[in-house]
A and B are shown apart, each in its own frame.
Chain A
């Protein structure tokens, strides 16, 4: 784990502490992950799913 990643983790912990904390706690206390837990562990499919394009929702 790089220094940049550790620094970002610290920043995230400060900003989103409870949310990240709960997610980490859920992951680290899971002994035998269920199929549903495996399905939920991945990130979103694309960059645009996190950062919608400027013209998103501009109407059709």
Chain B
């Protein structure tokens, strides 16, 4: 299992960060892999809430999803979305600078884009952690 995890991380690192790949493509792959992960994690969480049901104020069913659990995931998603919006802006600024006609002001800011993607990856990790915690390890 541990070997599989290492292989997955190595594979991701290789695919995302191949030498010679333009920064814009690396950014697309990085943000895309994070977004696919988050999108499916949220769909999984929605399935879970639908299956287990929300706790009723009176006589809640066993294993129902509490308001606190939903708020925890909602809060983590909002933090992720804030990071994603920041990454979106940084990437748009980078793309605008790289596609601007010669002579127009604007320098592609690779480091700002990379920092924003690193931040959104961390927020995604927190979100996934929150979902796993609230599901109690159930897939």
Contacts and interface: CB of A to CB of B under 8 A. Distances in A.
Contacts of B39: 43-44
Contacts, number: 107
Given A6-B5, A8-B37, A30-B29, A15 B139 contact: yes
Interface in A1-15: 1-12, 14-15
A34 to B, nearest CB: 10
A9 B5 CA distance: 10
Nearest to B80: A43
Is chain B's interface secondary structure helix, strand, loop, or mixed overall?
helix
A10 B4 contact: yes
A37 B36 CA distance: 13
Contact of A24 (B4, B5, B36, B44): B36
Contacts of B42: 43-44, 47, 50-51
Contact of A47 (B29, B36, B78, B91): B78
B25 A33 contact: yes
B125 A1 contact: yes
Given A15-B44, A20-B40, A43-B38, 11 more contacts: A4-B125, A7-B132, A8-B132, A12-B40, A14-B139, A19-B40, A27-B32, A30-B32, A32-B24, A42-B35, A43-B84
Interface of B: 4-5, 8-9, 12, 15, 22, 24-25, 28-29, 31-33, 35-46, 49, 54, 70, 73-74, 77-78, 80-81, 84, 88, 91, 95, 121, 124-125, 128-129, 131-132, 139
